[in-house]
Structure 1
Amino acid sequence: MARHNLGTVVRFEFIRTIAKRRFWVATLFVPVLLIIVFVLVFVSNSSTRTSAEAQKNAHFSFQYTDESGLVSPAIVESLGGTQASSEEAGIAAVKSGEVDAYFAYPADPAKQTIRVYGQDNGLFANGKYSSVAESILQASVEQKVNSPQTTAILQGSVNTTTTTYKNGSVSGGFNAVVPALFFLVIFYIVILLLGNQMLNSTLEEKENRVTEMILTTINPTSLIVGKVLSLFMVGLVQMLVFAIPTVLAYLFFRQQLSIPELDLSQFVFDPQTMIIGVLILLGGFSLFTGTLVALGAVMPTAKDAGPIFGALMILIFIPFYTVTLVVSDPNAFIVQVFTFFPYSAPVTALLRNAFGTLPLWQAIFVIVELFVLSAIVLRLAVRLFRYGSIEYTRKVSIRDVLARRPVTEAEPSR
């Protein structure tokens, strides 16, 4: 019974992992970094608002010339401006410090540039000159328009609403995309946080030279499956730790951090889309977990496994180089390749599922592919660990392992 005590393996691996100091350092790194970023954003927003208010209430002296005849003298006078006798005189007044700024409006402002001259008050503060020059011209033109409707159009105060239909019913639009994209976020977070742990789950025993002792009491299948299940549990712990600062920031510091309010009632949770998202997430996680565990069983040290581990991590980011095609042209050849290639399928399929461009038959194919390949890789990982557990100095030959006669669980490994 001891050889098949899966619960003992899961409990041991889980407690051993969460009891390590480096686990909490790695796990808390992201939340602590988020808290620091939130604090910096809060301080920056406060500073920006203060500066904006100061700019808004700031008054400066200026002169102008108007070749277009569009500028309203009344508006200029209300802002404390005066008309210059010529462009040369206006520029000279700025150079001598007599006025803070000078605006030269051309004969056709729609095609020609408004020339602005001003006293240097720093890059950020200098922007007020052009803002005021443009607002004077806009206000002057709007004053000449008698129709409120035309004025509103000129100001861009026109609202539109779009309603789209899918299969005869109103589609969710962006509100249906966000919930499904949540699965992609989870996949990235879990793989990035747990990837190294997955790799070291089998490498650690090999590097510590204790695998032979372990395999005398627990069979390889129970050991590997137990390690995979413990990784699922560790991933859940990390997800909860990662989510805490985000939830707290939204609940208590949303206004200070300028986080938009989320109305969950507006989101559309399509059952088919959500189920497909869950299955692709689980299949993708299982595949990467089994692959990294198998990699750890093959390689003698983490240093040797590093290049392949890096390549696997790159594979989950490659689909983002074609994200525009994924959204606009899902039938493109490269998108189809990324959809069905196992190690890019989770990201590509989750993206297409969220944007509603993944047909049901393709979703089923990808899900079956991921779970079947996960089972194969996991079985391969068990066999590699059985035969490669005592290979401490060289890489295990997968060809040699597959060529060997399978042993039963009761037989000792050689």
Structure 2
Amino acid sequence: MGGHNLKTVFVFELTRTLRKRGFWVATLAVPVVIGLIFALSFVSGSSISDSEDAQADAEISFAYTDASGLIPAEAAQAFGGREAADPEAAVDAVRSGELDAYFAYPANPAEEPVEVSGADRGLFDNGAYEAVAEALLRTSAQAAIGDPGLAAAAAGEVAVEATIYRDGDVTGGFTETIGPLALLVVFFLVIVMLSNQMLNSTLEEKENRVTEMILTTVNPTTLVVGKILAVFAVGAVQILVSLAPAVAGYVFFRDRLAIPDLDLSDLRLDPWAMVVGVLLLVGGFVLFTGVLVAIGAIMPTAKDAGVIFGPLIFSMFIPFYAISLIISDPGALIVGVFTYFPLTAPVTAMLRNAFGTLEPVTAGIVIAELFVLGIVVLRVAVQLFRYGSIAYTDKLNPKAVLARKKAAGRS
């Protein structure tokens, strides 16, 4: 008897799920989206390797001083360089943007680094300066192999210390990405940790069939906003509790656990990038919260909502399938699509913001899009929650609810 009941339940649940159109939409969405991503990537025709090859052939104008006496004037001219009479004047020209770069070759390249000063060309294109400086030294050394300094230069055993200027100030290079990328991590933690709670908070009373009674005393907008704030506070507590052991271990048991000291002296935070990152984080949270509230208002149970919840969370990870293009070729078609499509916009824009490829105009458009669309979706979700509170067993029809609301407003 028990085996028969098990088979009956199994067949019933399986066939009921397979007959749902939403199940197949959600199941096929992932491979279809991945296929479109790779197709758009192929059409864009760009890759990181293309950028690396371009750096090796980069044409830049530079001045140089050569304390080693290894650089022939003819070789420097072939690379687009000229000897500088005054090193400080050359650095000032780089600061003002009149000169692309200045190379200071030391007396002994085998033991001392080549100092490179360059005008900012973008985080990844800045590597062209080091590539040209090393290529010039290597070419010169190969013409006169004989002493250890020349041999080291020809073998590429040369250290290079680069200083990159943007608008007259020294940039932090990769250290500038740490702050904005940390905001991206916070965004993922907030959405992943809180989204399920937000969804369940709007469905719990509906499944317990007490929503109608609650709404007789509480305004639906107040109820939804209160739920959002409460869930956000719970998430903050969760994050603090999760970080507490790590902080306590570092402060009180660093020596015993052999934890290395954190040197934050080289960490540089770009105020503009941090402000944009915070706005993208908050705007993305508002948008995803509105969508989750709408799902909870439409669906009668958490099981039904899970069909949409999975693809919604997956949408945050879609940009990572094209991360090479997001970093190396922000002008690619697929990057533009991901930057402005609402569900992929927060992650894509935060990645571009971290790596310095998000223009101020684009940042403003994406931030406005997230906040405006998020608020609109949240307002619609409140109306759906109001009329869907008594739809305990049936999925709510959003068109019917909005049409009813519009008709009520006219009357």
Residue 399 (structure 2) pairs with residue 399 (structure 1): yes
Q: 2: distance between equivalents of 1:374 and 1:199?
A: 16
Q: 1: distance between equivalents of 2:181 and 2:253?
A: 24
Residue 237 of structure 2 aligns to which amino acid in structure 1?
V
- Identical amino acids, percent of aligned pairs: 59
- Consecutive unaligned residues in structure 2, runs of 5 or more: 1-144
Residue 162 of structure 1 aligns to which amino acid in structure 2?
A
Residue 345 (structure 2) pairs with residue 326 (structure 1): no
Q: Secondary structure at the match of 2:358?
A: coil
Change (3 A) 1:408 1:382: farther
CA RMSD of aligned residues (A): 2.6
**1:154-303 counterparts in 2 under 5 A?**
158-251=158-251, 261-303=261-303
What residue number does 1:386 align with?
A: 386
1:275-303 Cα offsets, whole Å, 9 max, x none, are: 11111000101111111111111100011
Change (3 A) 1:400 1:356: same
Change (3 A) 1:155 1:244: farther
Indicate conservation of the 8 Å contact 1:184/1:347, yes or no: yes
Q: 1: distance between equivalents of 2:307 and 2:150?
A: 63
What residue number does 1:312 align with?
A: 312
Residue 174 of structure 2 aligns to which amino acid in structure 1?
F
What residue number does 1:23 align with?
A: none
Change (3 A) 1:337 1:258: farther
**1:84-95 counterparts in 2 under 5 A?**
none
Residue 171 of structure 2 aligns to which amino acid in structure 1?
S
Residue 165 of structure 2 aligns to which amino acid in structure 1?
Y
What residue number does 2:87 align with?
A: none
Q: Which moved more, 1:170-179 or 1:383-392?
A: 170-179
Q: 1: distance between equivalents of 2:178 and 2:253?
A: 22
Indicate conservation of the 8 Å contact 2:281/2:346, yes or no: yes
1:68-88 Cα offsets, whole Å, 9 max, x none, are: xxxxxxxxxxxxxxxxxxxxx
**1:75-114 counterparts in 2 under 5 A?**
none
Residue 280 of structure 1 aligns to which amino acid in structure 2?
L
1:285-333 Cα offsets, whole Å, 9 max, x none, are: 1111111111111100011011210001100001011111111101111
Q: 1: distance between equivalents of 2:248 and 2:158?
A: 36
Q: Which moved more, 1:272-281 or 1:249-258?
A: 249-258
Q: How much has 1:348 moved relative to structure 2?
A: 0.5
1:154-206 Cα offsets, whole Å, 9 max, x none, are: 99864221222223322221111111111000001111111110111110010
Change (3 A) 1:176 1:259: farther
Q: Secondary structure at the match of 1:163?
A: strand
Q: 2: distance between equivalents of 1:394 and 1:350?
A: 38
Change (3 A) 1:337 1:249: farther
1:206-235 Cα offsets, whole Å, 9 max, x none, are: 001000110111011111111111122112
Indicate conservation of the 8 Å contact 2:291/2:378, yes or no: yes
Residue 354 (structure 2) pairs with residue 354 (structure 1): yes
Q: 1: distance between equivalents of 2:395 and 2:341?
A: 26
Q: 1: distance between equivalents of 2:245 and 2:157?
A: 38
Residue 344 of structure 1 aligns to which amino acid in structure 2?
T
Larger radius of gyration: 1
Residue-pair matches, total = 265
Indicate conservation of the 8 Å contact 2:201/2:227, yes or no: yes
Q: 1: distance between equivalents of 2:246 and 2:156?
A: 35
1:340-364 Cα offsets, whole Å, 9 max, x none, are: 1111111001100011100001111
Residue 366 (structure 2) pairs with residue 366 (structure 1): yes
Change (3 A) 1:251 1:155: farther
Residue 357 of structure 1 aligns to which amino acid in structure 2?
T
Q: 1: distance between equivalents of 2:163 and 2:253?
A: 33
What residue number does 2:73 align with?
A: none
Q: Secondary structure at the match of 1:356?
A: coil
Q: 2: distance between equivalents of 1:221 and 1:317?
A: 31
Q: 2: distance between equivalents of 1:391 and 1:156?
A: 72
Q: 2: distance between equivalents of 1:283 and 1:260?
A: 36
Q: 2: distance between equivalents of 1:151 and 1:259?
A: 40
Q: Secondary structure at the match of 1:326?
A: helix
With the length of structure 2 as denominator, give the TM-score of the two structures.
0.60
Indicate conservation of the 8 Å contact 1:325/1:332, yes or no: yes
Q: 1: distance between equivalents of 2:256 and 2:340?
A: 44
Indicate conservation of the 8 Å contact 1:224/1:381, yes or no: no
What residue number does 2:40 align with?
A: none
Indicate conservation of the 8 Å contact 1:228/1:290, yes or no: no
Q: 2: distance between equivalents of 1:248 and 1:149?
A: 49
Indicate conservation of the 8 Å contact 1:181/1:354, yes or no: yes
Indicate conservation of the 8 Å contact 2:299/2:394, yes or no: yes
Residue 167 of structure 1 aligns to which amino acid in structure 2?
D
Q: Which moved more, 1:244-253 or 1:341-350?
A: 244-253
1:120-149 Cα offsets, whole Å, 9 max, x none, are: xxxxxxxxxxxxxxxxxxxxxxxxx99664
Q: 1: distance between equivalents of 2:351 and 2:254?
A: 28
Q: Secondary structure at the match of 1:265?
A: coil
Change (3 A) 1:195 1:404: same
- Consecutive unaligned residues in structure 1, runs of 5 or more: 1-144, 410-414
Q: 1: distance between equivalents of 2:291 and 2:153?
A: 58
